[in-house]
Structure 1
């Protein structure tokens, strides 16, 4: 029963990320933390990396590789912050800070802020994303918000490229910090079939979103993810 529920959460997250460009951690991580806390953050990061590889293979020509490079440069110090947060800080306070920052960015975007993927913005987003992604497996919104006005394929491909490299860096940081284990790899492997099923189902949905619905989807997912993180903090 636990495997079925966790698999459903992963499949739903994979469907969302395959359509919008991010969301597997936003949708799946809070649910997995409730179903079985051992599935977060390392197994979730492994699944997110696998999904990003599938997306990148499908749409790699549309990626903003320069932007990915700057965001990854910012992610490096963010990973250090995230590893320290996992080891030292109460998870609920760190999660609360990340959720508040994301909600503030979403609110500003809706009202009047028009973020652009400039070098300073990408560096800052990389830092926040690296810290949040390493500590909670939810690192997509800070970078995704910068590309909310880009075409859907560019959003998905750029985030996929960023997630592949960024998640591997975060996993390395967790390994060095002693939070990586063979059990985590096994738990992620069990979820891979569900991940692939959700990814395949995302094909028709992404074609629908590409007709002017990408930005609303990005903002909605970022907001929902932040609220889910707040809920997880409250329950924890």
Structure 2
């Protein structure tokens, strides 16, 4: 089970290191199937470390004003996410995780060309804060606004947003009593897999930027979400 969870994290780290987001979208549904205790706190810890690495790698391309607006929206979203974790039973929590992923995939398939304006970033930050705190999946709402930007700008901006935003979500979960020693231990065990995935993403960016990354992310995320919904239905 450890090897399987590590492989999932490695794949998610590879995808996020290539396109700017994806570790939560790819890994969270599958980790929730392997062991629900791996979501959301361990997933958020791994996502925070990955985002910081990505920001350091391409920091010169960051859209800092956009990051600020998105973070402003994330603050109330974090509160909503903490309430979801505290109030929803495990079975319904799994449904929420899966539904979050499927909605994000559906939006990605729509021929929609949003722009990262201040109002749009506020709303995206709110939705991202809720989903990121409750399920470890907070990337797609903000990433969609930058889908037409150059690769380095997308990766650096999302790296900055995820680094700060995930810390806000972790603080909220800690205040809500969801932050445990077991969660820290689980994140530490999976950390080497995340680092390997990030390292591999450096050369992979040139290969996957040819148009293969987005279809692969959407397909894998959909498969993981549907599997999670099936588990919840059987449970």
Q: TM-score, normalised by structure 2?
A: 0.90
Indicate the residue corresponding to 1:18 in structure 2. Answer: 17
Label 1:92 to 1:190 Cα distance change in 2 as closer, same or farther (>3 A): closer
Indicate the residue corresponding to 1:167 in structure 2. Answer: 166
Label 1:209 to 1:151 Cα distance change in 2 as closer, same or farther (>3 A): farther
Where does the alignment leave 5 or more consecutive residues of structure 1 unmatched? none
Coordinate RMSD, CA, aligned = 1.9
Cα contact 1:73–1:126 (8 A) shared by 2: yes
Cα contact 1:95–1:230 (8 A) shared by 2: no
The answer as to 2:227 corresponding to 1:228 is: no
Q: TM-score, normalised by structure 1?
A: 0.90
Q: Secondary structure at the match of 1:85?
A: helix
Cα contact 2:102–2:225 (8 A) shared by 1: no
Label 1:172 to 1:128 Cα distance change in 2 as closer, same or farther (>3 A): same
- Aligned ranges for residues 28-177 of structure 1 at < 5 Å? 28-89=27-88, 90-95=92-97, 97-109=99-111, 113-177=112-176
Residues 133-188 of structure 1: CA deviation (Å, up to 9, x unaligned): 00000110111111000011111111110000010000001001111001111110
Residues 213-236 of structure 1: CA deviation (Å, up to 9, x unaligned): 4xx745763565355334323322
Residues 103-146 of structure 1: CA deviation (Å, up to 9, x unaligned): 4422323xxx2111011110111011100000000110111111
For residues 99 and 40 of structure 1, what CA distance do their matches in structure 2 show?
14
Corresponding pairs, count: 229
